Structure 1
Amino acid sequence: MMYQCPLCQRPLTATDKLFSCSQNHSFDIAKEGYVNLLPVQQKNSKAPGDNKEMMQARRDFLHAGWYQPLADAVSKMLQPLQVKQLLDLGCGEGYYSGQIQQALPQCQIYGLDISKNAIKQAAKSNKQLQFCVASAFKLPFIDQCFDSIVRIYAPSAADELVRVLKQDGYLLTVTPGPEHLFEMKQAVYAEPRLHDDAIEQIAGFSHQQRQRLSFRLDFSQPADVLALIQMVPLAWKFTAEQKQQFAEKFCNNGNSISIDFY
């Protein structure tokens, strides 16, 4: 097992019901199969991470297949790397973890998120994977244990990524392309701006390649548009009335929404 204690950084060993370290710090394994490795001193609120409403919207949207091209692109980039141990950082409710597992059945996948609600759902949906509640800035894993890390939108600390990756390990990031959700921006900003297209320089890493994935989504049901709005940070810019108006507009008038990833 590759977990380390979030309190003393000693390796954790597992029994049927808990993980423990040599300093007698112990962490129960939940009935769903995940372990909570987020000490209270690493919490920034009582229930950190996405709330239930945002999580459910994202789950509904992703499992409807709207972002399947992204899941396929991530899996395709990983396949030549011969990944055996992978971390899905900020995995949410485990959609991409499960998709990667299907594409790389021999890979052992760990998923981490700060949201307990999300991890509980991830563990329910993907019994064969390992999930934990933890901070992305203090990763509860031993040094140099992963071949690859997938980071889809998740914030993180570069030094921690370097620490848990093997010397020749890879970090695969997903970030917004210039035109991502531009129509949504137009609805809330007087002068909407494109996302920056500069390549992020991450300390400890050398950039190898970048792929752009762009497509458009055509919706027929307002509920699908509402789910998309609710799962992105732009949701806070809309009133409830504006959300409904936007959703109906993009279903009734044949409009589509730009999806753009790096």
Structure 2
Amino acid sequence: MSYLCPLCQEPLSLSARTYKCASNHQFDLAKEGYVNLLPVQHKRSKDPGDNKEMMQARRQFLDGSHYQPMRDAVSDLLKNLLAEKTDGQLLDIGCGEGYYTSYFADEMPQAKVFGLDISKVMIRYAAKRYTNVDFLVASSQRLPFADNQLDGVVRIYAPCNGDELARTVKDSGVVVTVTPGPRHLYQLKAGIYDEVRLHDVPVEALPGFELETEQTVAYPMTLNSADATTLLQMTPFAWRAPESLWQTLKDAEQFECEADFTLRVYRKIA
């Protein structure tokens, strides 16, 4: 089984290039290879999620390997956690344009890896670029997966419905989360706020899960002008940034900025 119908929650079966359920709801594979399982009645806007400009900014920055240490640390966690799963299933929620998801799939060829995002733009570009992942447009609030189907879920900055995680993750399965650490992007914030407050990193309350491990990945980044500007563009700080900060980044030959991530592993209580 791969997906559930988002309209009636019956299993979907793939025939030719169409997923179909017993109630005859149908969802075609796009030419890029992804499937859209976000029906119009589940959307809050016409085109939810990040737009093309955000996708391009994210891809440009990530292709510069600035977040590679975090990506590698998450991958190492997942490989160790799922090492005994010869046919495990891993879901990347809020996968964006697939930078992390594709790497996880390369590092765990024995696993079936899904990449889910609410943004059709992000998923279209992800599926076109990375062919080693099953990408889908869907809501993290209504995961189109069966009960106890997934061995692991990874969430890098992405929100999700905790009850849906408890429903879809197998007993003793894992959820790996990445959130900003206390000093993440401190120097960008210093260009916006008179008094910079460190990020709070509370342990998330996931129903049916318990926190197993926690680690920090922190390091300095040296960014050129283009990457520093792109980084600001792809963060929520962009809306608050004064023109003076944009100009500072535009004029800078180098911009020193801290990366600080908190990685947590939650295990489902059997």
TM bracket, shorter-chain basis: over 0.9
Deviations along 1:215-237, one digit per CA (max 9) or x if unpaired, are 01012x31111111111111111
150, 154, 157: which one pairs with 1:150? 154
Q: Distance in 2 between matches of 1:213 and 1:257?
A: 14
Deviations along 1:211-260, one digit per CA (max 9) or x if unpaired, are 100001012x31111111111111111255632323434x35xx410100
In structure 2, the residue matched to 1:227 is 230
Q: How does 1:210-249 map to 2 (within 5 A)?
A: 210-219=214-223, 221-239=224-242, 242-249=245-252
Question: Of Structure 1 and Structure 2, which has the larger fraction of its residues in strand?
Answer: 2
| Residue 28 in structure 1 maps to residue 24 in structure 2 | no
- Give the Å deviation of 1:192: 1.6
Q: Distance in 1 between matches of 2:145 and 2:113?
A: 13
The answer on whether the counterparts of 1:226 and 1:244 sit within 8 Å (CA) in structure 2 is no
Q: Distance in 2 between matches of 1:129 and 1:195?
A: 33
- Give the Å deviation of 1:12: 0.3
Distance 1:21 1:234, change over 3 A: same
Deviations along 1:184-235, one digit per CA (max 9) or x if unpaired, are 111111222100132222222100000100001012x311111111111111
In structure 1, the residue matched to 2:145 is 141
**Runs (5+) with no aligned partner, structure 1:** none
Q: Distance in 1 between matches of 2:131 and 2:96?
A: 15
In structure 1, the residue matched to 2:56 is 56
165, 169, 191: which one pairs with 2:173? 169
**Runs (5+) with no aligned partner, structure 2:** 263-270
Q: Distance in 1 between matches of 2:94 and 2:228?
A: 23
Q: Give the TM-score, by structure 2 length.
A: 0.92
Code of the aligned partner of 2:237 = L
Q: Give the TM-score, by structure 1 length.
A: 0.95
Code of the aligned partner of 1:27 = F
Deviations along 1:65-96, one digit per CA (max 9) or x if unpaired, are 11110110001111122242100000000000
RMSD: 1.3
Identity of aligned residues (%): 49
The answer on whether the counterparts of 2:192 and 2:242 sit within 8 Å (CA) in structure 1 is no
In structure 2, the residue matched to 1:11 is 11
The answer on whether the counterparts of 1:147 and 1:166 sit within 8 Å (CA) in structure 2 is yes
Q: Distance in 2 between matches of 1:240 and 1:36?
A: 38
